[in-house]
């Protein structure tokens, strides 16, 4: 069974999203704006210093829960207070309920001193069953897939488990993210190229990947295509790389691999 150090695993399953920034953007039009801004300014104590009023809005309560979640130093007592608020709010059927349910699962996945990945998976599943088209439910499915790829025990075919979740995701950007994660997991788990290379290709075709991640993916697709015996596909990606990054330090090596791909294609053409 794959074994990844806990610290490394936490980096893997975060997917590069800062939870409070994401949540705050989702509440940007709500009266709790000031509270969210305090969280983004890393000053959650200001929110918790003032007792909540009897007529506190659901959005404001969500911000209070997030404040307990982000309070430093983090303690399980503070996180338990956040979990209680999120559990109560998650009983509704509005967007705040979906966000609360998502954050509650994240507590168990990432924040408690002793994570409980099985509990986090249950909560993501519950959210997806209750509000399947919510952005937060869809995002939770990506997190659930990451748990199945890396963290949960007794998953006999990790890629297949994540692929079954992929079929439930309707948001293109999140489909792309999960295609990418399945592909990279295939590399880490040393799966056959035919099992995971199509996922990396699909992530690229959906688009929206930028910066060094885009550059790395194009090179990776070219190289993996060569190893998979797909020189035409490799040529496509190597040529793209040289067109988009002609002055990069990797350009020379990529040009050499492109020449090899062309040689393979030429050899195929002269075969009887």
Whole-angstrom Cα distance, residue 43 to residue 154?
A: 41
Q: Supply the pLDDT for residue 15.
A: 33
Whole-angstrom Cα distance, residue 215 to residue 131?
A: 36
Q: What is the pLDDT of residues 10-34, one digit of tens each?
A: 334 333 333 333 333 333 333 345 5
Level-2 CATH architecture, domain 1-155: Alpha Horseshoe (1.25)
Q: What is the pLDDT of residues 56-68, one digit of tens each?
A: 789 989 989 998 9
Q: Supply the pLDDT for residue 269.
A: 84
Least confident of 48-52, 125-129, 155-159, 251-255: 48-52
Contact 4, 150 (CB under 8 A): yes
Q: What is the pLDDT of residues 209-238, one digit of tens each?
A: 999 999 999 999 999 999 999 999 999 999
3-state SS of 27-69 is CCCCCCHHHHHHHHCCCHHHHHHCCCCCCCCHHHHHHHHHHHH
Mean pLDDT on 5-10: 38
Q: What is the pLDDT of residues 131-172, one digit of tens each?
A: 999 999 999 999 999 999 999 999 999 999 999 999 999 999
Q: Among candidates 138, 173, 136, which has minimal Cα distance to 26?
A: 136
Of residues 115 and 42, the one with the higher pLDDT is: 115
Give the pLDDT band of residue 189 (cuts 50, 70, 90).
very high
Contact 138, 130 (CB under 8 A): no
CA 17 to the chain's CA centroid: 7
Give the pLDDT band of residue 3 (cuts 50, 70, 90).
very low
Q: Supply the pLDDT for residue 270.
A: 75
Q: What is the pLDDT of residues 95-126, one digit of tens each?
A: 999 999 999 999 999 999 999 999 999 999 99
Q: What is the pLDDT of residues 70-91, one digit of tens each?
A: 888 899 999 999 999 999 999 9
Q: Supply the pLDDT for residue 185.
A: 98
Residues 201, 128, 83, 46: is their CA dihedral positive or negative?
A: positive
Whole-angstrom Cα distance, residue 41 to residue 35?
A: 10
């Amino acid at each position: 069974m794959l074994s990844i150090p806990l610290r490394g695993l936490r980096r893997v399953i975060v997917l590069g999203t800062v939870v409070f920034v994401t949540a705050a953007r989702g509440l940007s039009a709500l009266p709790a704006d000031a509270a969210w801004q305090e969280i983004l300014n890393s000053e959650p104590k200001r929110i918790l210093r003032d007792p909540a009023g009897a007529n506190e809005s659901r959005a404001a309560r969500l911000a209070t829960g997030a404040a307990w979640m982000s309070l430093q130093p983090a303690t399980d007592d503070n996180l338990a207070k956040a979990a209680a608020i999120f559990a109560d709010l998650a009983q509704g059927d509005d967007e705040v309920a979906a966000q609360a349910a998502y954050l509650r699962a994240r507590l168990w996945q990432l924040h408690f001193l002793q994570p409980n990945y099985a509990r986090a998976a249950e909560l993501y599943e519950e959210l997806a069953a209750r509000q399947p088209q919510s952005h937060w439910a869809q995002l939770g499915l990506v997190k659930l897939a990451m748990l199945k790829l890396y963290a949960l025990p007794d998953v006999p075919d990790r890629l297949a488990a994540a692929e079954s979740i992929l079929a439930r995701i309707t948001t293109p950007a999140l489909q792309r993210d999960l295609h990418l994660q399945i592909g990279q997991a295939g590399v880490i788990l040393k799966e056959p190229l035919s099992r995971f290379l199509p996922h990396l290709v699909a992530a690229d075709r959906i688009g929206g990947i930028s910066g060094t991640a885009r550059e790395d993916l194009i090179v990776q697709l070219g190289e993996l295509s060569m190893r998979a015996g797909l020189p035409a596909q490799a040529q496509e990606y190597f040529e793209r790389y040289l067109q988009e990054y002609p002055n990069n330090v990797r350009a020379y090596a990529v040009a050499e691999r492109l020449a090899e791909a062309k040689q393979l294609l030429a050899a195929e053409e002269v075969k009887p």
